[in-house]
Amino acid sequence: MKGLYIVTPDWDDTQQLVDITEQALRGGAMLVQYRHKTAGEALRREQAGRLLELCRRYGRPLVINDFVALCNELGADGVHVGGTDASVAQVREALGPAKIVGASCYGSLQLACDAYQAGASYVAFGGFYPSRVKKYPVTTPREIIQQAKEQQPLPAVVIGGMTHDNALVLVESGADMVAAISSVYTAADPEAAARGFARMFSSP
């Protein structure tokens, strides 16, 4: 797992969501997380299904935030869980060994180690910077990336206010993926914005 990891905003307009996601995929996004905290069940199923079709065309995985049953129903590639959702162990048991299970670890090395032991596929740290979308303490130190890699082997995703200007230092510190919402979805040119993040992972 390497590159730009896009997380969808809480948009009810499915066509807009699909269109901007496709632009980001054209720009080099490597993984899509469908996250819509206020959607009803029907809208969530519609949007996740459309995004899954899109990701299949581009050969990129789609993970769904929180909803294990929806992932299994649609045949999506995995689930991302936060600190208040089902446990990594529960999700891994429900999805089986082949699916992606991501875990939010905030600024905690212990959560990352626990996630690894429970069968996570990757760990996500943050917030590193203030976000326009999510509210959280901006207290995650850059050093946590290398410290986590010394303790367990999972890919590290960084999230929280990521921009072209501030994400590169985290990639240089060992981050495997940069997760972005607003910096891609509300950009004037989402494809170019995605390409800018993707370039951070290009070999010199």
**Residue 104 falls in the annotated catalytic set:** yes
For residue 31, what are the contacts with CB-CB under 8 A and spacing of at least 6? 1, 3, 4, 5, 6, 60, 61, 62, 63, 177
Taking the C-alpha atoms of residue 55 and residue 76, their distance in angstroms, rounded to an integer, is 10
Select which of 44, 60, 99, 104 is catalytic: 104
C-alpha 194 chain-centroid distance: 14
**Residue 99 falls in the annotated catalytic set:** no
Select which of 26, 45, 50, 134 is catalytic: 134
Q: Which of 197, 185, 158, 162 is nearest to 8 (CA)?
A: 185
Taking the C-alpha atoms of residue 108 and residue 148, their distance in angstroms, rounded to an integer, is 9
**Residue 149 falls in the annotated catalytic set:** no
Q: Which residues are catalytic?
A: 35, 104, 134
